[in-house]
Amino acid sequence: MTVALTGALSNYLDFKRVEATLVGYNRAADGLYDVEAWWNSLSLDQKQNSKNCERLVISTEAIIRSEHVSWLQDMQDRLAEMYGNTENETYPENNNEDQQNKSG
């Protein structure tokens, strides 16, 4: 019974992609922590330097953008698994256009 329960839980977690999600969130959290540690290590004069402020914003946005892109890719992969990988199956009107282009 324990083996069956463990297997079911493992399959459920795989289905929900918990591991991939946690890895992405942990990577983003680590990156944000590193940026925060770098910022906190600067002196007041260095914090007022516009180049350091720009670096703070750019680094933070890059980390968030990376996580967002990763999330979008995961959603696209899930949709591709659900609906198939071919565009013509998902959008039958494209199939009609392709046939018209071949014949005419």
| Exposure class string for 82-100: b at 16+ Cβ within 10 A, else e | eeeeeeeeeeeeeeeeeee
pTM passes above 0.75: no
Higher pLDDT: 31 or 101? It is: 31
Residue-wise pLDDT for 47-95, tens only, equals 999 999 999 999 999 999 999 998 888 888 878 888 886 554 445 555 5
